[in-house]
Amino acid sequence: MTQPNLPTLTVEFPTDLFLAVAHAMSTAVARQNLLGVWVDITREDVRLMATDGTLMMLARHPHKEPVEGVFRVLIPFGIVRLLQGLRKAASPENLLLSRFSDSEWLLYDLKVFPGTETMPDYRRVIPDCNKEQAQYALSYYTLLAKVA
């Protein structure tokens, strides 16, 4: 009997926060590296970022436990659109992103891709903030997602 392939890392973040950030995602096919939502996984938090080249949105969500390593994953345009459509039906409260290997990531059972260096460097545009500011931003983006 073969052993099931278990994830080496699993992170969770609110669906509403993800969908709020997705509003800034590019829809232009010519800008392939902007077609989707970037997930930047750091030791302290999950950072969700999307831009169309003019508007950029970044949201941070803290981990329940620290993560070893830094990872970047692109949630492609098609999956983002699918999640936006499900929101009206019955989308989960939180999204679960799992790493099985360097090249295999799943958002529930949908395959997503490890990020490349083409991810826009949001750190040059959006400064780091303290925990109180980050909590305010989380509340703001969550509210924006519910209104949109």
Place of tokens 């490890």: 114
Distance between CA 49 and CA 120 in Å, rounded? 9
The SS3 assignment for 34 reads helix
Phi, psi of 127 (to 5 degrees): -70, 160
Per-residue pLDDT for the chain (148 aa), expressed as one digit of tens each?
455 578 888 899 988 888 888 888 887 766 666 788 888 888 889 989 888 877 788 888 988 888 888 888 888 888 888 888 776 566 678 888 999 888 889 888 888 878 665 666 666 555 555 555 555 555 555 555 555 4
Tokens encoding 32: 């392939």
pLDDT of residue 145: 56
pLDDT of residue 76: 85
Residue partners of 146: CB distance under 8 A and separation at least 6: 16
pLDDT of residue 122: 62
pLDDT of residue 35: 80
pLDDT of residue 109: 82
Residue partners of 140: CB distance under 8 A and separation at least 6: none
pLDDT of residue 112: 85
pLDDT of residue 78: 84
pLDDT of residue 125: 56
The SS3 assignment for 140 reads helix
pLDDT of residue 121: 63
Distance between CA 32 and CA 118 in Å, rounded? 9
What count of other Cβ atoms lies within 10 Å of the Cβ of residue 18? 28
